[in-house]
Each structure stands twice: as C-alpha cells, then as structure tokens.
C-alpha cells in the first residue's frame, strides 16, 4: 500500500475488515451446521425422546406365549401345567414356522430404534419360577437353541435356595444357583413377578386395594419390586426391565406404579396378538397366549396367519 494516500488505505482496510467478518460468520455457521449433523447421528439414549425424534419402524407382529409349569406326572397336567413333550412340540412348531425367539432387551432396543427385530419374532415366557423350568424347559431350550423369559417370585426363590430345604419337583422353585446357570447360558432372560405379592387375599395380586392412596400403593410396589431387583443385582449383576402381573391382574394404577419403579415392560394375560408400532407405551401392556395342556398350538399358530398375510399384502 506504499504510495497510497491515507484516505485510500483507510477505505481498503475497512473493506477487508467487512470481508473478514462475513467469512468468519460463514465459517461459524458452517461449524454449527456440522455440529448439528453430528448430533443427529449420535445415538439417542432417552427411551421416550428417541421415539419422539426418530421415525417409527414398520409395525411388527409379536405373539407371546405364557407358560407356568412342566411335569412328567400325567395326573397333574391341566390349564397351567403341560408335559415336557408338549413343550418340545411347541419349540419344533415355532422353528418350523420360521419364528425366532427374542428377549425383553431385544424388544427395548427395537423400540429405541437401535435394533431391528427378526421377521417373525416370538417371546416364550414362564411365570412363577418353578424348578421344572430348570429340569425340563432349560435342556430343551439348549437343544433347539431358543430363548425364554422367566419371571420369578423372589420369596420362593430365597426359600428354595436355603441349605437343607426339602425339595420336590411338584412344588419346588428355582434356586439362585440354578438361575445363575440358566442366565449365563444366554438362553434365559430373568425378570420380576414380585418378591412377595403373588397372593389372592385382601389384595388381588399386585393390584391396589380399593381405598389405598396412590402414595401408599406406590411405596408398597416400589418396596416389593425393588427388593427382588436388588437380589437380581446381587446374584446376577442385572436389573430386570419387565414385570409379569400375578394372576394377570392389571389396571391403570398398577401400570403407573410399575412404570415409576423403572420397569419399562409389563406382561399381562390378555390373549391377543401384539402389533407393535415402536411406541414405548405399547410395552406397558403386552398380551400373552396361555399355553394349556391338550391345547392345539398348531391351531393357534395357524390363526396368526391373518396378521402375517395382511403385512405381505400391504407391502405388495
């Protein structure tokens, strides 16, 4: 700029300053835009925020089967007790029809948009935690490489884990040692069926009493479910994510109380197909088909064809 007069130098200096400010602003805007893009690509950990932000997946049909006890004693077989042969026939039927067993964690990852479910998912659930789960169900799950969800009653597991306790396959419940072996196989998923609320008396299962305040009821639910959750942490190092309703007793007050304990899934006993759209609210009442002795599982599976055929027609 040598030779230029003072006014010319001042003018050029002013122009260069303006250009610098504009270019700096554009760079900052570009950086902010890039930062926002990166943020969108980051995994979203919040359960409900994820559902609100990310586009929902295609609806998925999810049948859930509810088992209770397995027995070789033919005289004991009834609505809630089936034979080992019946359970094995079920596993063969599901495999032959293209079903893949999933866990509660698989379901939660699907809702959080972190994992797709298989084409025909199915959940096998066992309530109460009888020792027959270990003696009969567990070996068959290993044989067919299938998974199941087990919801135990904490008080009975503690009782049958004590040294010297008298056991009999007709009434014994799982011990913590048996639960640990099953869990470590990767085929058994363990959840909450209350610590000590599986009773019918003044209270129907885990439902609130008629004049019980919300505050009192919440404390009872939190204390009971929390006790079993703490025992799971102690023995397995896990925190259950699902709650199976004792006797299938369910209402909106139970739903809210269970949700506030931190559990995201509630298994009811309504015998219907679940069609999931990715809404986490749907997990707070999942329907289950009761497996009864002498009930035709093949007929039940055939009845699901309308759901899968409807999906195919929609895609075509």
Q: What ranges do the domains of the chain cover?
A: 60-302
**Higher pLDDT, residue 28 or 70:** 70
As to burial, measured by CB atoms within 10 angstroms (0-12 exposed, 13-18 middle, 19+ buried), residue 161 is middle
- pLDDT, position 311: 60
Would you say residue 48 has pLDDT above 70? no
Identify whether the C-beta of residue 195 lies closer than 8 Å to the C-beta of residue 228. yes
Would you say residue 42 has pLDDT above 70? no
CA dihedral (308, 120, 274, 134) in degrees, to 10, reads 140
202 pLDDT band, cuts 50/70/90, is confident
**Higher pLDDT, residue 33 or 121:** 121
Quick one: average pLDDT of 312-316?
Answer: 60
- pLDDT, position 44: 35
Would you say residue 90 has pLDDT above 90? yes
Which tokens go with 185? 């196989």
Q: Considering the chain, what is the average pLDDT of its residues?
A: 86
Would you say residue 125 has pLDDT above 60? yes
Phi-psi region of 112 (alpha: psi -120 to 50; beta: other; left: phi over 0): alpha
CATH of domain 60-302: 3.20.20.370
19 pLDDT band, cuts 50/70/90, is very low
- pLDDT, position 54: 52
The string of pLDDT tens digits covering residues 242-258 is: 999 999 999 999 999 99
The string of pLDDT tens digits covering residues 151-180 is: 999 999 999 999 999 999 999 999 999 999
- pLDDT, position 312: 65
- pLDDT, position 183: 98
Quick one: average pLDDT of 189-218?
Answer: 95
Neighbours of 162 (CB within 10 A): 8
Q: What are phi and psi of 128, to 5 degrees?
A: 90, -35
Would you say residue 207 has pLDDT above 90? yes
Neighbours of 207 (CB within 10 A): 19
Alpha helices, H only, 112-213: 132, 138-144, 154-159, 176-184
Q: What are phi and psi of 215, to 5 degrees?
A: -65, -45
**Higher pLDDT, residue 114 or 258:** 258
The β-bridge partners of 92 are none
Cα 69 to Cα 302: distance, rounded to the nearest angstrom: 24
pLDDT above 70 coverage of the chain, percent? 80
Pick the closest to residue 129 from 202, 178, 162 (CA basis). 178
């Amino acid at each position: 700029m040598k030779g230029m007069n003072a006014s010319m130098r001042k003018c050029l200096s002013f122009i260069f300053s303006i250009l610098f400010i504009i270019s700096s602003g554009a760079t900052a805007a570009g950086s902010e835009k890039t930062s926002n893009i990166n943020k969108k690509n980051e995994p979203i950990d919040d359960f409900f925020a994820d559902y609100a932000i990310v586009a929902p997946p295609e609806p998925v049909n999810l049948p859930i089967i509810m088992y209770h006890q397995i027995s070789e004693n033919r005289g004991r077989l009834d609505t809630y007790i089936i034979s080992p042969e019946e359970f094995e026939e079920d596993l063969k039927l599901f495999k032959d029809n293209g079903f893949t067993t999933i866990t509660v964690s698989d379901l939660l990852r699907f809702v959080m948009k972190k994992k797709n479910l298989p084409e025909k998912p199915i959940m096998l659930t066992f309530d109460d935690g009888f020792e027959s789960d270990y003696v009969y169900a567990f070996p068959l799950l290993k044989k067919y490489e299938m998974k199941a969800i087990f919801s135990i009653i904490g008080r009975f597991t503690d009782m049958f884990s004590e040294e010297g306790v008298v056991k009999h396959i007709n009434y014994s419940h799982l011990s913590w040692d048996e639960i640990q072996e099953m869990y470590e196989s990767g085929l058994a998923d363990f959840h909450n069926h209350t610590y000590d609320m599986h009773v019918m008396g003044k209270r129907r299962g885990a439902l609130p009493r008629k004049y019980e305040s919300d505050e009192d009821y919440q404390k009872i639910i939190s204390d009971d479910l929390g006790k079993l959750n703490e025992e799971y942490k102690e023995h397995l190092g896990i925190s259950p994510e699902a709650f199976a309703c004792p006797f299938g007793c369910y209402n909106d007050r139970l739903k809210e109380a269970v949700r506030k304990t931190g559990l995201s899934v509630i298994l009811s006993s309504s015998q219907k197909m679940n069609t999931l759209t990715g809404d986490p609210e749907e997990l707070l009442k999942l329907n289950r088909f009761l497996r009864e002795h002498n009930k035709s599982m093949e007929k039940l599976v055939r009845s699901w064809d309308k759901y899968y055929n409807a999906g195919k027609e929609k895609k075509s």
